[in-house]
Amino acid sequence: ERDSPFAQCILYDTISANRDKPIAFAEFAASIFTYGFYDKLKIQRFVFDAIDRDKSGNISRAELNEMMTWLHRAVFSNLRVALQNIEYDANDEVNWPTFARFTVQYPFVIFPAYRIQKTLRKKTFGERWWVRKEDEEKRQWNNKMRDELGIQKGLRLPGLDIIRKARQALGAALGPLQPPTAQELAAADA
């Protein structure tokens, strides 16, 4: 990927590093691992936070247009049309829920952020390694929840197999880099 303000955000903002100093290798590795493990919703939120330079919780029209030059080499007509369709508030700004809905409706707007993650994962350890690590993390989380809730290992909860199969089928149909669902957006708003 080319050097851009967005690439700088990935390097520095994922680990809250000082941009005035070069980062050490350990900090570089931490930023790669952090961005590499982001899910779709976290990438959307990261892009929003990267655009929101003044950390006001809203992004202005000017900040949004600047982001387009960060993420895209050229502003194509479909990008211009998408930007015309975003819902600005009375102050000519966009809040997080509006931005999240916008990027679900027009996922190509932040597609370069997903592409950067995919490239990063491919070039560092390969996609299979990242998927295995994510699976391990999910297993550890499930075991922790089982322990906290006092559920015996191997115990089957009613309907759990149906939910698991539906999730697998949905994941296979959607692929790895799809926009978040309405439920994910609602959970993020909460």
pLDDT at site 178: 56
3-class DSSP assignment, residue 95: strand
pLDDT band at 64 (very low <50, low <70, confident <90, very high): confident
User: Exposure pattern of 130-156 as b/e (b: 16+ CB <10 Å)?
Assistant: beeeeeeeeeeeeeeeeeeeeeeeeee
131 plus 119 within the same structural domain: no
Tokens 């992004």 map to which residue?
A: 59
60 plus 74 within the same structural domain: yes
Q: What is the pLDDT of residues 140-181, one digit of tens each?
A: 888 888 787 777 666 666 666 677 777 777 766 665 545 566
What is the C-alpha separation between 27 and 15, in angstroms, rounded?
7
Integer angstrom CA distances of residue 69 from 63, 64, 84:
10, 9, 16
22 plus 74 within the same structural domain: yes
Q: Which domain holds residue 48?
A: 5-124+158-189
What is the C-alpha separation between 56 and 73, in angstroms, rounded?
27
Per the structure, the count of domains in the chain is 2
Evaluate if residue 2 carries a pLDDT over 70: no
164 plus 100 within the same structural domain: yes
Name the DSSP class of 5.
H
- Of all residues in the chain, what percent carry a pLDDT higher than 70? 78
Q: What is the pLDDT of residues 68-98, one digit of tens each?
A: 777 776 667 787 788 888 899 999 999 999 9
53 plus 117 within the same structural domain: yes
80 plus 133 within the same structural domain: no
